[in-house]
Amino acid sequence: MTASPAPSVETAPLGWWDRLSFTAVHGIVSLLLSLLSLGGLYHLGRIFGTAEWLINYRRRRRFRRTLVEVLGPGKTAAELRAVTHQHFRQTRCDKLIYLVFDRLSRDRALSLLSIGGKGLLDEAVAGGRGVYMAMSHHGAHHVIAMLMAMRGYRIAGVRDRRESAIRRFVQARFDELYPEFPRMRVIFADAYPRDIYRCLKDGYLLGSAMDAGRARHPNQKTETVRIFGEERAFLSGPLRVAIRCRAPVLQAFILPEAEFRYRLEIVDRLVDSDAPEDETEVIHRALRAYAANVERYVREYPGLSTRA
């Protein structure tokens, strides 16, 4: 008999060691923020990222392999080295701003977010059926989720059950300091689809990365799509639920800018919620468009991949 998946619940509390260590690091970074300002902390983060790039050869090698997989063998060693360096600097900055998010005023935090293609988002939200945001392993999802929540959007994310300790730490602090802001609801990837149905029915912006290389749980639905010259499995469960709920499906990418600014770029409406078509054909067409957009953005911004 197959065990039923565990229900979707909020992430587990931190252990005492994680809480102690993150509290200490949070205090140090908060002190740096007060001494250097946000701009100074950003430049310090880039220096830390360079140091990590120089030292952490194993992660550097993993990311280089990822680049070759998606960009092909035509890139020179110098080009791969430059993109890898950019990746290390950006991921370090992403972690720093997330860690001191609770130290920013609401107005300062909101000034860090811009939305490209906001007309598509506003139109989708106005329909009142929820919105499915088809994301990819590209950019800092946790930072954008926090900023969107502060904008007043009801945010939900489909995530692996092994939620990182830093995200749980930051969310706990945010809940304590800003209880008036809705937190991101977490739906675990091995949960039943009913939680996704409920989120869309309640008008959430539901996001998940569809470009997973494989299904980690037997109840996850996948479709094979051609991307980067090969056939890959994309997760299609939330997309199927959105189609059945007649919720609009948007595709978005997260692009960092200077001094901890981020842009959520809405690039396509993959599914028209009012189109009465065969579900299988709608899924195939949406995934082909999704894959083409992923190819274009990953090749344009390869350093933002979060797969490594």
d(CA 81, CA 200): 42
Residue 4: band (very low, low, confident or very high) from pLDDT cuts 50, 70, 90: very low
- Strands 222-227 and 261-271: what pairing? unpaired
Residue 248's region, left for phi above 0, alpha for psi from -120 to 50, else beta, is: beta
The mean pLDDT of the chain is 88
d(CA 106, CA 89): 26
Please determine, for residue 9, whether its predicted confidence score (pLDDT) is greater than 60: no
pLDDT at position 262, please? 98
d(CA 78, CA 285): 37
Torsion sign across C-alpha atoms 209, 215, 219, 224:
positive
pLDDT at position 265, please? 97
- Strands 249-257 and 230-235: what pairing? unpaired
Higher pLDDT, 184 or 298: 298
pLDDT at position 42, please? 98
CA dihedral 186, 173, 137, 5 (to 10 degrees): -30
d(CA 289, CA 223): 13
Q: Residues 261-277: pLDDT tens digits?
A: 999 999 999 997 665 67
Query: ∠ at Cα 213 (97, 222), nearest 5°?
Result: 115
Summarize the confidence of residues 126-150 as an average pLDDT.
Answer: 92
Summarize the confidence of residues 172-177 as an average pLDDT.
Answer: 78
d(CA 191, CA 244): 18
Q: Residues 75-133: pLDDT tens digits?
A: 899 999 999 999 999 999 999 999 998 899 889 999 999 999 999 999 999 999 999 99
Is the pTM higher than 0.85? The answer reads yes
Determine what percent of the chain is predicted with pLDDT higher than 70.
90
Residue 5: band (very low, low, confident or very high) from pLDDT cuts 50, 70, 90: very low
Beta-bridge mates of residue 135: 209
Q: Which of 68-82, 94-108, 151-165, 223-237 has the lowest mean pLDDT?
A: 151-165
